[in-house]
Chains A and B, each alone.
Chain A
Amino acid sequence: MNDEPPVQNQPSGLAPPADFTTFMRKYQDMVFTTSARLVRNDAQAEDISQEVFIKAHEHFDMLATSPSAGGWLKTVATNLSINHLQRYRKRWKFFSEFGGDSQEDDAPGVEFAAPDTFFEGIDSEEKRAWIEDALSKLPDHQRIPLVLYHFEEIPYDEIARRLGVSLAKVKTDILRARTALAKILTRGDSTLTAMAS
């Protein structure tokens, strides 16, 4: 996290439209967050965000006045992040999926008695950081569909198509991700309460 204002040092000889800089400042947090939640690596997310804004600059005539510019940027950021992940996923697919997910298959259902406790202190910086951390701790095959479903609001079948997996696997992975997240958050609640007291 950094609260510094955006860098102002434009390289000499650069003449992007002043509006583009304003445009970029308006959307850079959203683009970076979209990418960072998918790839789970800030350096790679920054590279992807750079690529997104370079594409945006090529279409700036259209985006400058478009009310759906934010959606366009989010879609491009999501697509580039998925492409980035697919490149590595292909390489490790065999190894990561070898032997199946027996541990998760045998996992008992979460005791989900009090979801309302999730909301306690949700607006605090500490709790938000905890949730982001919990999200990043999920394995890729659970986190990616979860992020696509809950943050990008992409339907199950579209997620399955884009990730190249079955619809049933997407649903199972998202359910397991929610369960795992709920467990972490429930644990986190007690830890945060203990730290506070």
Chain B
Amino acid sequence: MNPHESEKLETAVHAVLRRLPDRKAPSSLEGRVLAELSRRAALPWWRKSFAHWPSAVRLSFVLCSALAAFLGVSGLVALAGTQGAHQVTGNISSSLAWLILARDVVASFDGKARQILAAVPPLWLYGVAGGIALCYAALAAIGAATYRAITFSRQTT
């Protein structure tokens, strides 16, 4: 298509489209909007976003949060140096002893797996990896081709 034809087409399509009137909105739209506004208006302030909270409450919340953070950090710092803190650390370590056992079990499996892998010829491993990659690509291609076929058939019908 030459530029002149292209321009002519643009002008014609633009004129046709711009002459289309607006479609009628569904009659349910107004009721839905009003119902949603009503529902939101009926919510108590603490269930609305922070921006809708009363100013005094917002200020109090910020101050309380800062105070709580300060107390929390101070408390942790104070506790860290006490005799009780070492005892608590010891208690936690003993209650998590099963994690060490689990780590040893996993490590032993890991060792066996490494031994088995070392015994398998590298060519086999490359072949399995290539096969997995091929299956993945084939699956993606089938999916994409099916999607394109369905979309194209919808567009042409």
Contact = CB atoms under 8 A, between A and B. Distances in A.
A42 B38 contact: no
A58 to B, nearest CB: 10
A98 B31 CA distance: 43
Interface stretch (B83-91, B98-106, B112-120, B140-148): B140-148
Interface in A55-86: 57
Contacts of A96: 147-148, 151
Contact of B12 (A13, A31, A123, A182): A182
Contacts of A128: 20-21
Interface string A5-38: 1110111011110000100110011111100100
B92 interface: no
Majority SS of interface residues in chain B? helix
A24 B26 contact: no
B144 A99 contact: yes
Interface residues on A, range: 35 or more
A16 B144 contact: no
Contacts of A32: 22-26, 29
Interface residues on B, range: 35 or more
B12 A150 contact: no
A112 B29 contact: no
A185 B16 contact: yes
Contact of B18 (A9, A49, A150): A150
A173 B20 CA distance: 22
A54 to B, nearest CB: 6
